[in-house]
Chains A and B, each alone.
Chain A
Amino acid sequence: MILAGGFWDASIGRLGRPADTRERVTANMHLYAVLPRVLDLARLDDAATGIARDMDVSIAFAVRGGPYVALDFKRGSGGARRTGLADVVLFFPSCRHLNRMFGGEKATPIPLWGLHRFRDLQRFTKLSDRLTQYLKPSDDDMADPCFRKRHVELSLLVGLAACREVADLDPRAQRVATALHDGTIQYSVGEEGPHVTAKVEHGTISVAPGRVPDPTTTIALRDLDFAVALIRGEVDTFAASGLGDIRLSGDLALADKFNHLFDRVGLYLK
């Protein structure tokens, strides 16, 4: 049985060395913030939609001493979960190993079982390659406005989802994390979007595409160009708020706390 909370999920508290903590936080981000975006991709990108439509499989990533995620593909719809069984299980001997693979280095998973679903694995590989292209785009890709918009949406979803891992695991963020109060923060880019909403409920952060009625906090980014710069970490957010490139309204205390978490995501995810 592959279940989170046991072998896979060694408590961060027991990881003394900063380097171990770093690998662990990064691994969590890869599995919980980056990987589930293949499901968003299936919504946004026609080629990905076509691939996902043919998939009826659950694929799990299990990291020794680290996180576990199972992605369910149900012929076009799906979801990610942190516990439970899967048809295919890919095993990583360490967080570092997983992170090296996500970093594009030569590191492959050990398939524990489910290899007979090799066709689904091939499809999954295609999806994840496409996701990589969106998250680490070339200049040519970014010249296409549709691509840019998807890049921004996927990157915002990754960044906000990664805030949860910062809040849960990053020792330097604990003071902010414990003070985090419930609410919804809606990020919008221009009039046309994309729009992405992060929700804090009982201290736990979740993200979803789209708007919500009456968000606690609204963070409106000027346009796609500005959003791209923000994602690349090139923006002084305080300056941008004063200049009107970022328009903040609603509960700014929540925005401020989130900003602290968001700032730290870039220390783990490049």
Chain B
Amino acid sequence: MALYKFDKSLALFERACKVIPGGIPGHTSPAFAVAGSYPYFAASGRGCRYKDVDGNEYIDFMAAYGPVVLGYNDPVVDAAAARQREAGSLFNHPTARSVELAERMVALVPGMGWAVFARNGSDVTSYAVQVAREHTQRRKILMIKGAYHGVQAWCRDGTGGLIPEDYEHVHAFAWNDATQAADLVGKHAGDVACIIVTPFHHPAFGDQVLPAPGFFADLRRICDEGGIALVLDDVRGGFRLSMHGSHAYFGFRPDLTCYCKAIANGYTLSACLGTDAYKGAASRVFFTGSYFGGAVEMAAALANLDELEKRGAVPHMMAMGTMLQKGLADLAAARGLQVAISGPPTIPYMRFANERNFRRMQRFSGEAARRGVILHPHHNWFLIAAHQEADIRLTLEVADKCFEIVKKEFGG
């Protein structure tokens, strides 16, 4: 097959650089993938496939970094959104969809008594932290080293626009190390508002790590003993491990939980849910935005949650993810290559086990993209409910070719 070219992507990027800082800011910047061997701009999509502006088509394993969970342009979700759009989306008041969606989510997610809606993951993780601070009347936030909770100053790394005071009250401990968490709680006794965690550790540029047995139970105990809120950032994991939230999957009990990515199949929505005990504090934190009441997105979310259940999306994605992981591991082994695949099957991460500098992985991903499969070199991937066995088989065919190239170039 002819390898893909990206001329139109590049031309558009040149235009973009003139009027947009960085050309493409944020996590989709080409600087974070394999610049030159990767599409820069998308054009259209359906199911688990999309086309870029050059007309190249891909089987996708990034799902727009998570939000596309049923598939691009899912007809059922889009029809629900279209119906709502006809009636209107944004008014002086919320619509009944907000109540329906809150009822739906509270019924779906165990332990939670209320829900509020926003637009992005960052909105709700930051809100959850504020609710915890309001409820406890304390300052300190404990988070996991290397975890990502969004772009707000309290949880950002880097330097741009940040001052040390932004994260003066944020302290980090290592994933799976409840002793460290307890030590921090002891050090800041009486001042810790919350411990915020993701359901599994999913750093960029690193292996994913599942919770060790007892980790969440230990955190729960530390929080109970110290009057501290346990906040679950389920923005990435939510509805890809369990329809009832990732705490249901791993069996623990957060006080507040945040959803975003898989909630509305690509429509812009996020949610914070909390237990009844936190409802008073939640009502005292002023939280709003011009578009928070948008009904199209809520209608899409209602349809998306229904469809995820109806289609058995989570078990299906688990099966497809397992097939992909096993297929990749077998192909690599057959060529004498060592890959390390970590994380749950629906959100896998792969690297070559014998390198720390990602060169084989960058080669592998770049070659895969030029052959029509999107497998990010440094970020976890996302399964999509639309993936079928035939898609995984095609993906593995491409992957085998890419493994062959890596083997030839790197020797092992």
Which residues does A use to contact B, with CB under 8 Å?
171-176, 179, 183, 214-217, 236-239, 241-244, 247-253, 256, 260-261, 263-264
A243-B17 in contact (CB<8A) = yes
Q: How far is the CA of A242 from the CA of B6 in the complex (A)?
A: 12
Q: Judge whether A242 and B35 touch: CB under 8 Å.
A: yes
Total inter-chain residue pairs, C-beta < 8 Å = 93
Contacting pair A236 B22 (CB below 8 A): yes
Of the candidates A242, A251, A252, the one having the most CB atoms from chain B within 10 angstroms of its own CB is A242
> When A171-B164, A242-B30, A243-B14 are in contact, do A260 and B159 touch as well, CB less than 8 Å?
yes
Name the CB-closest residue of A to B13: A242
Find the B residue at minimum CB distance from A179: B157
| Cα distance, A261 to B32, chains bound together (Å) | 18
Chain B residues closer than 8 Å to A174, beta-carbon distance = 164
| Residue from A183, A238, A253 with most neighbouring chain B CB atoms (10 Å) | A238
A263 to chain B, nearest CB (A): 7
| Residues on A with beta carbons closer than 8 Å to the beta carbon of B35 | 241-242, 244, 247-248
Q: Tell me if A243 and B13 are in contact (CB < 8 A).
A: yes
Expressed in whole angstroms, the Cα–Cα distance for A249 and B358 within the complex equals 8
The 8 Å CB contact of A251, one of B23, B29, B167, B357, is B357
Q: Pick the residue among A214, A242, A260 that contacts B23 (CB under 8 A).
A: A242
Q: Give which listed residue, A173, A248, A251, A261, contacts B31 with CB less than 8 A.
A: A248
The reply to whether B160 and A252 form a contact with Cβ atoms under 8 Å apart is: no
Q: Which of A215, A236, A238, A261 contacts B357 (CB 8 A)?
A: A215
Among B13, B36, B157, B357, which residue has its beta carbon within 8 angstroms of that of A214? B357
Interfacial residues, chain B to chain A (CB-CB below 8 A):
10, 13-14, 17, 21-25, 29-32, 35-36, 40, 146, 157-160, 162-164, 167, 204-205, 356-359, 362, 378
Known: A242-B13, A242-B31, A243-B17. A249 touches B362 (CB 8 A): yes
Decide: A239 near B23, CB < 8 A? Known: A247-B35, A249-B362: yes
Q: Assess whether A242 is in contact with B205, with CB atoms less than 8 Å apart.
A: no
Cα distance A217–B355 when bound, in Å? 12
In the complex, which residues of chain A have a beta carbon less than 8 angstroms from the beta carbon of B358? 249-252
A236 and B21 in contact (CB under 8 A), knowing A242-B13, A263-B159, A264-B159? yes
Q: Which 4 A-B pairs have the closest CB atoms?
A: A238-B22, A241-B31, A242-B30, A239-B17
Q: Let me know if A242 and B159 touch, CB within 8 A.
A: no
**Residues on the A chain within 8 Å of B162, using CB:** 172, 175
B24: A residues at CB distance < 8 A: 238, 242
Does B17 lie within 8 Å of A242, measured CB to CB? yes
Which residues of the partner chain A approach B25 to less than 8 Å between Cβ atoms? Answer: 238
Chain B residues, CB < 8 A from A241: 29-31, 35
- Across-interface contacts of A251 in B (CB, < 8 A): 205, 356-358
Q: Nearest Cβ in chain B — how far from A211, in angstroms?
A: 15
User: Quick one: closest A residue to B26, CB to CB?
Assistant: A238
Most buried by A among B13, B35, B158, B159: B159
Q: Shortest beta-carbon distance, A203 to chain B, in Å?
A: 15
15 A-B pairs besides A244-B35, A247-B35 with CB distance below 8 A are A172-B159, A175-B164, A183-B357, A216-B357, A241-B29, A242-B23, A242-B40, A243-B14, A249-B358, A251-B205, A251-B358, A256-B158, A260-B158, A260-B160, A264-B159
Contact of A217 among B23, B29, B40, B357 (CB under 8 A): B357
Cα distance, A29 to B162, chains bound together (Å)? 22
Verify B17–A253 contact, CB threshold 8 A.
no
Decide if A172 touches B378 in the complex (CB within 8 Å).
no
- Minimal Cβ-Cβ distance residue in A for B366: A249
Docked Cα-Cα span, A239 to B32, in Å, equals: 12
Set of chain A residues within 8 Å of B40, measured between Cβ atoms: 242
A253 adjacent to B204 (CB under 8 Å):
yes
List A contacts of B146 (CB < 8 A): 179
Q: Chain A: which residue is nearest B24 at the CB level?
A: A242
Contact of B29 with A238 in the complex, beta carbons under 8 Å: yes
Instruction: Give Cα A242 to B410, complex, Å.
Output: 25
Bound Cα distance from A264 to B162, whole angstroms: 12
Instruction: For the complex, give the distance between the alpha carbons of A224 and B146 in Å.
Output: 36
Complex Cα–Cα for A243 and B30 (A): 9
In contact, A172 and B163 (Cβ under 8 angstroms): yes
Q: Quick one: which of B10, B163, B359, B378 contacts A253, CB cutoff 8 A?
A: B378
A250 to B32: give the CA distance in the assembly, Å.
11
Q: Provide the bound-state CA to CA distance between A256 and B191, in Å.
A: 33
B-chain residues with CB within 8 Å of residue A172 when the two chains form the complex: 159, 162-164
Q: Using A175-B167, A252-B32, A260-B158 as known contacts, say yes or no to A238 and B23 having CB atoms under 8 A apart.
A: yes
Counting chain B CB atoms within 10 Å of each CB, the highest count among A176, A215, A241, A256 belongs to A241
Most chain A beta carbons < 10 A, residue from B167, B356, B357: B357
> Which chain A positions have C-beta within 8 A of B204?
253
- CB proximity of B259 to chain A, nearest CB, Å: 27
- CB of B36 within 8 A of CB of A244, answer yes
Chain A residues lying within 8 Å of B32, measured Cβ to Cβ, are 252
Cβ–Cβ < 8 Å partners of B159 in chain A:
172-173, 175-176, 260-261, 263-264
CA distance A256 to B33 in the complex (A): 12
Residue contacts A-B, CB under 8 angstroms, 10 given: A216-B357, A238-B24, A239-B21, A241-B30, A242-B31, A242-B35, A250-B358, A260-B159, A260-B160, A261-B159
| A191→B144 CA distance, assembly (Å) | 42
A263 to B160, CA, bound (A): 9
User: When chains A and B are docked, how far (Å) is the Cα of A190 from the Cα of B242?
Assistant: 50
Give the shortest distance, in Å, between B361 (CB) and chain A (any CB): 10
The docked-state distance in angstroms from the alpha carbon of A244 to that of B17 is 13
B359 contacts A249, C-beta separation under 8 Å: yes
- A249 vs B25: C-alpha distance when bound (angstroms): 19
Is B36's CB under 8 angstroms from A176's CB?
Answer: no
Task: Determine whether the beta carbon of A238 is less than 8 Å from that of B31.
Answer: yes
- Cβ-defined contact, A176 with B164, below 8 A: no
